[in-house]
Structure 1
C-alpha cells in the first residue's frame, strides 16, 4: 500500500527522524493536518494568533525575521505555546547558500533557529552541500529538513528537472530530509518502482476555502484537492484563517476549526480508499 494511504499514526513507526515521528504523531493525536502560517510584523499579533489557533493545528509556520520588534522573549513564549497547545514549530527560512554559510545562519545570529524550530526548509539550488551544512547543526538536535520541490505561485520555476533533482537529493539524505514543500506526492518523481514505498512528508501551501488567488501570484486549492486528490499530508493556511483583523480571535478560531475539519475529512476519505 502506498504510504499516504496509511493512517498517519502507523506511518510514524517507519520514520527514523524524531521530528518526522513527532509531526505524524501530533497529527494523529490532535486529528488535525492543519498548519497555520503566521506572517505578521508585530510580536503581540504573532503570539495572539498562535495562541488562538494552537488547539486546532498540528504545526505553526513562522517567518521570524518579519517581526519588527523581535526579542528572545518571543521565542520563549512561542516554545511555551508549542508545549501548551501541542504543536510542532516550522521556521520557513528557505536557506539557499553554501553549506558553511547555512550552518552559521541556522545555528547562530540573533535568531538561532536550530535551538527552537523543529523543522526548517531549504532550496536545493546550491546542491547537496546545503543539506550537509544544515544537517551538521540540526541532526544532533533531532531536527528535520524540508526541501522546496514545488511552489504554489504562478510561474514558479520549481518544476521538471529541478523537482527531480530535489527528490534525488532527499533520497540520499533520508536521516535529515523528512519531506518536501510541494503540491503532490513525490514518490514517482525521478525514481523507479523501488521508490514507490518512499514516505516523505508533503506540506502544501496555497490552500483556501473560497478564493482561488490573492492578486500577487498565489494560487489556492481546497483542502480536498490538496489532501485527497494530490495526496499531500499537511495543508498550510495563512491569511485565510486570520485575515485582516488580527485582533478578532473568535473569528480566527472559527476559521481554524473550519480548515481543520475540511483537512481531516479529506484525509479520512483518502485512507478509506481501497
Structure 2
C-alpha cells in the first residue's frame, strides 16, 4: 500500500505552516480552511439525483472541507449558470465552508479537454474549484487545462453589460394621425422590424416618409463579485448567507497519480511522470489523488487526497485495515492513510451516505482523520 519512500519533512508541519509556504492560492485557502474547521475529510457524494445531493450536502457540510461530485451521474441536474445545481452547491459551499471537486478525470487531447472543462451545458469551470486528470494522454492534457483555467480566470471577475437605446425623432407639430403612426413605428421596432433611416418628411405626392429610428447597442465589462456563483440563491424562504471567507477565483487540478484498486495499470514510471508534470505546473496543480504522499523534493508541498478509506465499527478505530468491497476497492483506515502513508485528505462516500445518521457518521470520520493528522504532526 505505502511504498518505502523517504518521509518528507512537510509531513510534520501543520496545515497552517504549509499554507504559509505554498504558492497556489487555492491550496493556501484549503489548508487554512482545514485548520479552521479541524477537518481533512472529503465527501464522495455518489448519489443519484441533484435533489438528494443538495439535501445530503446541507446535512454533512459542517464536517467536510471538500465535496467530490460526478455531475453527469445525477438525475435532475439544473444547468442554469445563475440558479442551477452548480450555483446552489456554490451557496452551500460558502455556507458550510468547503470546496467543490468535480471528479471528471479528464484524459484526452488538449482541445477536447478544454471544451469539456469550459464549454457545453455543464461549464464545469464555473462552479467546480477543483478538477482532476489522468496522465495517460501525456503532459499536454495538464497544459491545456491550465491554459483554459487561466483564460477563464482573466474574465471571471467581469460580466457583460448591454444597453440598447432607441431614438425616434419627434416632429415639432404632430396631429393625431402623426402620433398614431409614430406609436406604430415604435411597436414595429420593439418587434424587431428594420426601419428605414431617413428624414421625417412627406413625399412630393403628400405621403409621409419613413419614421427615422436610431438604435444604439453598447457593451461594457463591469466588475462582479468572485467567484461567479457568489450571488445568493433563494432556497424557499431562506437565503444561504456567506459564513466563511470567499475562496479565490483560481482553479486547481489534482493529478490521478495512483490507484489502490486491484489490477490497475498505474506503474511506478507513470506515477513519476505525474510528479514531474505537477512540478512543471505548480501554479495550477494543487496535488494528487494517490494512496500515499508523493512529496520528495525539498520544494514539494503538494496536497494528497486518498479514496478507499473506511473506519471500523465504533470502538475499533485503531485497526489499520478493513475488508474491501469485493469489486477491486481496497479499504484502509484514517490511521494508516494519514498517519503512516502521509496523505492529507481522506475521501469517503458510501459509509457516510448509507449510514443511518449521515451527519453523525461524517463527524466520526472527520474526528478520526483529524486525530491521525495531529499525531503525525505531533500537535
Q: What displacement does 1:187 show? A: 2.2
Give the TM-score normalised by the residue count of structure 1: 0.92
Q: Is the 8 A contact 1:2 1:197 kept in 2?
A: no
Instruction: State the partner residue of 1:214.
Output: 325
Alignment pair present for 1:16 and 2:33: no
TM-superposed deviation, 1:49:
1.1
1:240 has 2:247 as partner: no
CA distance in 2, matches of 1:242, 1:220: 16
Q: Runs of 5+ in structure 2 lacking a partner?
A: 1-7, 154-248, 313-321
CA distance in 2, matches of 1:117, 1:14: 24
Of residues 248, 263, 282, the one that matches 1:155 is 263
Out of 143, 166, 169, the position equivalent to 2:251 is 143
Q: Which runs of 4+ in 1 moved over 6 A?
A: none
Relative to its length, the structure with more helix (as a share) is 1
Q: Which runs of 5+ in 1 are unaligned?
A: 189-194
Q: Higher mean Cα deviation, 134-143 or 260-269?
A: 134-143
Residue 9 of structure 1: how far off its partner (Å): 1.0
- Counterpart in the other structure of 1:54: 61
Contact 2:100/2:129 (CA < 8 Å) preserved in 1? yes
Match of 2:49 among 34, 42, 49: 42
2:105–2:133 contact (8 Å) kept in structure 1: yes
Q: Determine helix, strand or coil for the equivalent of 1:13.
A: helix
Alignment-derived partner of residue 235 in structure 2: none
Q: Quick one: which of 109, 113, 116 aligns to 2:127? A: 116
Contact 1:149/1:159 (8 A) holds in 2: no
User: What's 2:335 paired with?
Assistant: 224
- The residue aligned with 1:199 is 301
CA distance in 2, matches of 1:227, 1:177: 21
| Other-structure match for 1:262 | 368
Count residues in correspondence.
Answer: 262
Compute the displacement of 1:4 (Å). Answer: 2.1
